[in-house]
Amino acid sequence: MTANTNGVRRSSWLGRVFRQRLAEHEAVRREHFENVMLRARAVAADDPLGLSSMVRLIAAPLQVRAMTSLVFQPAYRSRSAYILSDLFGPLGARVTAEGLTVEKVRVRLQDARYRLRLGRDPILALPQSDSCLTNAIANIGHSRRMGEWHADFNHKVELLLPFGLALAGGGNHSLTAGIANAEGTVVTDTVTDLAPLYAHVRYDGVSMIRTHDGVNLWTPVDEELGILFEIGRLMVEHRVRYDAQVAADNESNSDASGESFPICYRVLIDGRDTGYSLSDSGATRALLKAGIESGSARARSVIVEGAAFKADDERRVVLEHYKRRPLVDDLERVTQLSIYGKD
C-alpha cells in the first residue's frame, strides 16, 4: 500500500470524524434551542411580560463569556466587539425575495433612547486591554478609589429590540466593572428594531435561515444569539418588547447619574472642619480601611450619629451629613487638599 493511499484514507477518516462531531454539536444546539423555546412559550402563555426575564436568563452566560474572555487567558484572542453581523453575518446579505439586505430591512429608531441598568440589562461588553481592565476592576465602584460607576461620553451602547440585547461600542472596560458590581446606568447611543426581519429570517437551532428559499445565511458562533432572536419573535407575536426603561428626552451619558441631592459627609479631622465632603462611596471606603464593616452597628454610628473613628494616620475623623461643598471620593484626598492636612 502506497504512502499516498494511506494519506487518502487518513484524510477520509478525519473527514468522517469531523462530520460526526459537527453533527453531534448541531444536535446539542438544536436540543438546547427546543428546550428554551418550550420554556419561553410557556412563559408567554402565562404572562408575555415575563419574556424579558427569559432574555436576561439566556443572555447571562453569553455576557459572562464576553466579559471574562480576557480574565481566563493571558492575552486577548477573540473579536474586538460584538456587532450585528455576529447574528446575521454580513449586513449586505440579501434576506428578502426582492433582494433587500439586513441593512435595508432593520430600522434605526432615531428618537428612541433607553436607560439600561448595569448588572440587570444584558450588555455585551468585551474588554481587550489587561491594564485597562485591571484599573477598572480595582478602582471603579462603591467604596473604590474612583467612586461609584458613572457613564460618560465614551460609553456607546446599541440596543437591539424587541429582545433587548445591548452591544457595547465603547467603554468596554468600565462597563465590565459596572456590570460586575451591578452598579450604574447607561443611556443607549443607538436603538435598532429588528422586528421587520422576522418575516424573512428564522433561527433553526443552528443557523439563521432565509425563509423564502431556505438558504443558510449564517451560523452564529454563540447559540444564545439565535435563541434570543427567536425569543424576540415571541415578543413580536405577543406585542411586547424588552422592559428597558425609557430615558428622558434630556438624559445623556454625560449627566450625573446620582440623586439630585447626593449623600455626602462633611469631614472633620481632629475636631477641625477640612472644608471638604466625602461621597457615600468615599465614606464606605474610609470605614473599610479603618476596619469598620459596611452596614455594621459601628458603621451606622459613624455615618448616622456622627461618632468619631481613627483613620490610617491615627487622626480622629468625624463625618457629618452635608450637601453643599466640594465632593470627593477618597479620605486621603481630603487630607491632601485640606489646609488642616498632614504636617
What are the sequence ranges of the domains in the chain?
3-246, 264-337
Q: What amino acid occupies position 75?
A: A
Q: Would you place residue 325 in the very low, low, confident or very high pLDDT band (cuts 50, 70, 90)? A: low
Q: Per-residue pLDDT for 256 more than 60?
A: no
Average pLDDT over the chain, rounded to an integer? 87
pLDDT at 1: 54
Q: Range with the lowest mean pLDDT among 17-26, 92-101, 302-311?
A: 17-26
Q: Would you place residue 262 in the very low, low, confident or very high pLDDT band (cuts 50, 70, 90)? A: low
Q: Say if CB 81 and CB 167 are below 8 A apart.
A: yes
Q: Range with the lowest mean pLDDT among 74-78, 84-88, 282-286, 298-302?
A: 74-78
Q: What amino acid occupies position 20?
A: Q
Average pLDDT over residues 131-136: 94
C-alpha span between 148 and 150 (Å, rounded): 6
Q: Per-residue pLDDT for 260 more than 70?
A: no
Listed residue (281, 340, 293, 287) closest to 312, CA to CA: 287
Q: Say if CB 285 and CB 333 are below 8 A apart.
A: no
Q: Per-residue pLDDT for 254 more than 70?
A: no
